[in-house]
Amino acid sequence: MPEDNVYQELVTFLSSTRPDLQKAAVEATLSVVADPSGVSSLIKANAIRPLCRLASQPSTVGVHALQILANLSSSGTSADQCVEDLIDAGATNRMAEIALTSPPSPSEADEADDEWRRRINYALIVLANTTRTERGAVEFCGYSMPGEAVVRGGGGG
């Protein structure tokens, strides 16, 4: 199908090491996620892993990649597959790392602070979406049963 080739090519550009191609691909992907069929096609084309890689960039490209991942993992028929792909790509740890990044110094422009806040917000959205499944919660917390997460007979109080 020609339409599938378009999404495959988009994923190829998302996987590029060239910053200009990454920026153009992320901007094109932002417009694709507005369409529910585009969301499904992106997930089927394996766009999650390169988007996770781009999300680590402390730049506008990274913020847009996080925004796309938040949209892809939020709702729709493909959201569950997206969450599985996010977990497979190590997104729970990556989103936690992004959420714990330090803010820019006070001497930097307000624009840097706004971009940092957007990065943190989108990373927390993706982390919340990823951990809504048991597998995602286990990946994040490291425990599979509630009894394992609570120390019994602890000396609290």
- Tens-level pLDDT at each residue, the chain (157 residues): 566 688 888 899 999 999 999 999 999 999 888 877 788 888 888 889 999 999 998 889 999 999 999 988 887 778 888 888 888 888 888 998 898 888 877 776 677 788 889 999 999 999 989 888 878 887 887 765 555 555 555 555 4
**pTM for this structure?**
0.83
> Residue 157 has what pLDDT?
47
Helices vs. strands in the chain: H and E counts, helices first: 10, 0
Tokens at residue 49, please?
């892993």
Amino acid at site 109: A
> Residue 3 has what pLDDT?
65
CA distance readout (Å), 79 to 20, 25, 58, 120? 29, 21, 25, 21
- Report d(CA 87, CA 93) in Å as an integer: 9
> Residue 148 has what pLDDT?
56
CB half-sphere exposure, 8, CA atoms < 13 A: 5
- Report d(CA 113, CA 133) in Å as an integer: 32
Q: Where are the alpha helices (DSSP H) in 15-157?
A: 19-32, 36-44, 48-55, 60-74, 79-88, 91-99, 110-130, 134-141, 146-149
DSSP-derived letter for residue 155 is: -
Burial class (CB in 10 A: 0-12, 13-18, 19+), 154: exposed
> Residue 145 has what pLDDT?
58
Residues in the chain: 157
